[in-house]
Amino acid sequence: MTTLSILLLTALATANGFLLTYLAIEQASLLARVCGGAVVGLAALAWVGFLAALIGGMNAITMAVTVVISAAGAFALCVIVPRERIKAEWAEWRAASFDRWSLAYYAAWTIFLGWLFSRVVTLDANGMRTAPANNYGDLPFHLSVISSFAFGENFPPHNPIYAGPNFTYPFLIDFLTAFFLRLGADWPAAFFIENIALALALVGLIEWLTLKLTKNQLAARIAPLLFLFNGGFGFINFFRDLSTVVPGKWWDFFSQLPRTYTINDEPLSLFGVALPLRWGNVFTTLLIPQRSLLFGLPMVAMIVTLWWMAVREMKGQSEGETERGSEGEKERQGEAASLPSIPPSLPLSLSLSPRLRYLLAAGVLAGMLPMLHAHGFFSIMLASGAMALLFWSRDWLAFFLPALALSAPQALWLSGTPTRSKLFELHWGWEAGEASVLGFWLANAGAFLLLLLLALLTRKFVEARARRFYLPFVLCFIVPNVMLLAPWAWDNIKVLIYWYLISCPLVAAVVAYLLSRKMIMWRLIGAASLVVLTLSGALDVARGLSPVENVQLFSRAELEVAELIRQRTAPRALILRAPIHNPVVALTGRPSLMGYPGHLWTHGIDYQARENEVKAIYRGGPIASQLLAQHHVNYVIIGPVEQEQLQPDESFFDQYPVVIDHAGYKVYQVK
């Protein structure tokens, strides 16, 4: 029943978002509304739930209030939105869109995404496991955040892995998981339901964006493949590995690929030059480990689509084109040419011109972004100034005013912790290192860049205005290649990926054009292009689905220790433990004096002094007593890792009562 209740709440949130699209978008396909509705609805649910918990904590009352607000919103929107609009789009979808190919396409995506995301968190007799392997490093941090909300009363949020500062991280995706946990879902279900909903929505929204920009249905179906199975020329290493396989060992090789091919410490040798492979795959290095992108990517896709729809409404912006009224919006592929008009009794927002509604909606979505995905907000605002100048109109105020008003408090919060970092310093070539920047990008995205240039320089693939519309997003490629946007240079990919997202429709248009030619040669070139663009990513995803990347995160004994800590300690009790990336504390909701240095470093936190203090405490003596009191530590864990890495003076800690002694772990109550 608990899983069913989470599914029903997700459906309610999606219905809210679905109905909200009618207040902003006069004409859209039913599929686009459902996909956009899932993203907007779940984001709104996370925001409402968080604000309620900020006031009263996460408990039965605030969660009930959140559900009641969601239900009330759905009821009010059902009254406002004309049923004739929904019925007309439903009829059109059944007649035009719901063909067997569309059904097979989305059925395949659903099965694949279900398989992939079902492995993110699993529980079995031996403990908790995760896949793909990249998630092994990041998941414990997210578990710490989630459990701090669900079981640790972490409101207002403080950093759960570094006691003291405010938690300046886009945490709403993790809050939503915590909300599902408190409603009764187990760990796998809490992750899976929101992951699959947002991932499927991303597929649909990339298709919608591509259809708007290119007016090409085939390109719209190709674009999600290009984006989600991205990768460079790393597949060359795959064929080199394949050539060394002993006959008769083919199945072992294919079922357990020896390495990844989109990101690897081993460089790719091209023309005798060693070039780093750092681009990664969206699934294995971003969507699954970097969870906030599940909100950021589809939200940005929606904002960009709304911008394009607004630009199409503006008059005389390129090559002498002049469009009148909503003529540009009505020139769409795969959507109804006409729908029932909007009754005058609807809210004021629907009495605005279409372009103002599009920009207003985009501004509200952008304003929600910082706590959903801060790099997504940065990317949108980076492109927005150039976009407004390129397609100048005072109507852009409808975007900037809500975006800035809603984001300002979030920006203030996100800047409210002391960090040591080198943000915005010059850093040439992203992850190229000593290699040539041109060669680096050739190895990591060479074929993609070539087809993108072809799309921008040739008129036959997309219209002139679409090419012009694309130009501001080039900033999301240039800026991460010339300066640091995060303490760890690789994290610049969190902006680069938005450039790639907006570029995929144009590249998909080129591939679709080749595949639709009558001459077999062009079709073969198109098919070869599609393979080259996706093979490395597909290999990494295949490896992520294999046993070789299904790794254990916590043993059964560690899960038992975590449960005992939850039962026998107060929710906000501060715990000292070894600064490793997968501590049992991650599942308890209790804050740690200091967590894994790798996580702290990527967040720009100067942890060296505290790391020395942690070591001093475990050595015991008067200085340990002083530091325990100074940091208000409540409990100290001495387990196998502490014994191995910190060599604690157990005779010192024996003066304190032992509240847990289980499976090689002792928890001392020091305060």
The answer, yes or no, to whether residue 600 has pLDDT greater than 90, is yes
User: 3-state DSSP helix/strand/coil percent for the chain, to nearest 5?
Assistant: 65, 5, 30
Distance of alpha carbon 422 from the chain centroid: 24
592 and 544, same structural domain? no
Top-confidence residue, 67 or 424: 67
Cα–Cα distance between 287 and 493 in angstroms, integer? 12
Whether the CB-CB separation of 294 and 281 falls below 8 Å is answered with no
A 10 A CB-CB count for 621 gives 11
Q: Give dist(CA 481, CA 299) in Å, integer.
A: 24
Contact 666, 639 (CB under 8 A): yes
**Cβ within 8 Å of residue 396, ≥6 positions away:** 359, 388
Confidence label for 350 from pLDDT (cuts 50, 70 and 90): low
483 and 515 in a single domain? The answer is: yes
In a domain, 151, yes or no: no
Phi and psi based region of residue 371 (left: phi greater than 0; alpha: psi -120 to 50; beta: remaining):
alpha
Co-location of 279 and 411 in the same domain: yes
Q: Residues 6 or more apart from 1 whose CB is under 8 A from it?
A: 184
199-255 pLDDT tens trace = 999 999 999 999 999 999 999 999 999 999 999 999 999 999 999 999 989 999 999
Residue 522, pLDDT score: 97
Give the Å distances, CA to CA, from 165 to 54, 420, 657. 17, 13, 29
Q: Is residue 11 part of a domain?
A: no
pLDDT tens-digit map of 612-635: 999 999 999 999 999 999 999 999
Q: Is residue 31 part of a domain?
A: no
Q: What is the average per-residue pLDDT within 361-374?
A: 98
Q: Under DSSP, is residue 37 helix (H, G, I), strand (E, B) or coil?
A: helix
Residue 295 lies in a domain: yes
Are 385 and 487 part of one and the same domain?
Answer: yes
The model's pLDDT over 43-63, given as tens digits with 9 standing for 90+, comes to 999 999 999 999 999 999 999
CA separation (Å) from 435 to 238, 268, 427, 493, 503? Answer: 22, 11, 14, 18, 25
Task: Output the six-digit token pair for 404.
Answer: 């800035």
Predicted confidence at residue 419, as pLDDT, reads 56
CB atoms within 10 A of CB 99: 11
Q: How many domains does the chain have?
A: 2
Instruction: Give the pairing type, strands 264-270 and 635-638.
Output: unpaired
Q: For residue 343, is the peptide bond before it cis, meaning its omega torsion is within 30 degrees of 0? A: no
Is residue 272 within 8 A of residue 317, CB to CB? The reply is no
Among candidate residues 487, 515, 549, the one where a domain is terminated: 549
476-504: per-residue pLDDT in tens? 999 999 999 989 999 999 999 999 999 99
Task: Look at residue 25 and tell me if it is in a domain.
Answer: no
String of b and e for 251-280 (b: at least 16 CB within 10 Å)? Answer: eeeeeebebbbbbbeebbeeeeeebbbbbb
Cβ atoms of 15 and 7 closer than 8 Å: no
Q: Is residue 96 scored above 70 in pLDDT?
A: no
Is 74 within a domain? Answer: no
| pLDDT value at residue 174 | 98
In what helix (H) or strand (E) does residue 130 lie, and over which residues does it extend? strand 127-130
- State residue 186's pLDDT score: 96
Q: What does pLDDT average to over the chain?
A: 92
Is the per-residue pLDDT at 357 higher than 50? yes
3-state secondary structure of 554: strand
Q: In the predicted model, is pLDDT for residue 277 greater than 50?
A: yes
d(CA 179, CA 6): 10
Q: What is the CA radius of gyration of the chain?
A: 26
Q: What is the pLDDT of residue 342?
A: 44
Share of the chain above pLDDT 70, in %: 93
**Which DSSP letter does residue 569 get?**
S
Whether residue 398 has pLDDT greater than 70:
yes
Looking at the structure, tell me whether residues 277 and 395 fall in a common domain.
yes
Residue 95 has pLDDT above 80, yes or no: no
Are both 544 and 565 inside the same structural domain?
no
Between CA 424 and CA 334 the distance in angstroms is 43
Domain end call among 517, 549, 581? 549
Give the per-residue pLDDT at 418: 55
**pLDDT bracket for residue 335 (50, 70, 90):** very low
Residue-wise pLDDT tens digits, 463-479: 999 999 999 999 999 99
Highest mean pLDDT among 1-15, 130-144, 406-420: 130-144
pLDDT for the residue 328: 43
Residue 397 burial (CB count, 10 A):
14
Domain closes at, from 483, 517, 549: 549
The answer to whether residue 37 is domain-embedded is: no
Residues 521 and 591 in one domain: no
Strands 635-638 and 665-669, by their bridges, are antiparallel
Which pLDDT score, from 0 to 100, does residue 424 have? 85
Position 103 scores a pLDDT of 85
Q: What is the pLDDT of residues 411-423, one digit of tens each?
A: 999 886 555 556 7
Q: Are residues 384 and 412 in the same domain?
A: yes
Instruction: State yes or no: pLDDT of 336 exceeds 50.
Output: no
146-194: pLDDT as tens digits: 999 999 999 999 999 999 999 999 999 999 999 999 999 999 999 999 9
Phi, psi of 249 (to 5 degrees): -110, 20
Among 649, 660, 636, 650, which residue's Cα sits nearest to residue 557? Answer: 660
The pLDDT tens digits of the residues spanning 624-670 come to 999 999 999 999 999 999 999 999 999 999 999 999 999 999 999 99
Residue 430 scores a pLDDT above 60: yes
Q: How far apart are the first and last CA of the chain?
A: 40
Is residue 620 domain-shared with residue 472, that is, in the same domain? no
412: left (phi over 0), alpha (psi -120 to 50) or beta: alpha
Does 491 share its domain with 591? no
Mean pLDDT (whole number) for 339-364 = 72
What is the pTM assigned to this prediction?
Answer: 0.94
pLDDT of residue 319: 40
The whole domain housing 302 covers 98-130+168-315+352-549
Q: What is the per-residue pLDDT for 323?
A: 38
Same domain assignment for residues 295 and 227: yes
* Residue 334 belongs to a domain: no
- Dihedral angle over CA of 79, 301, 112, 110, nearest 10: 10
- Looking at the fold, whether 484 and 441 belong to one and the same domain comes out as yes
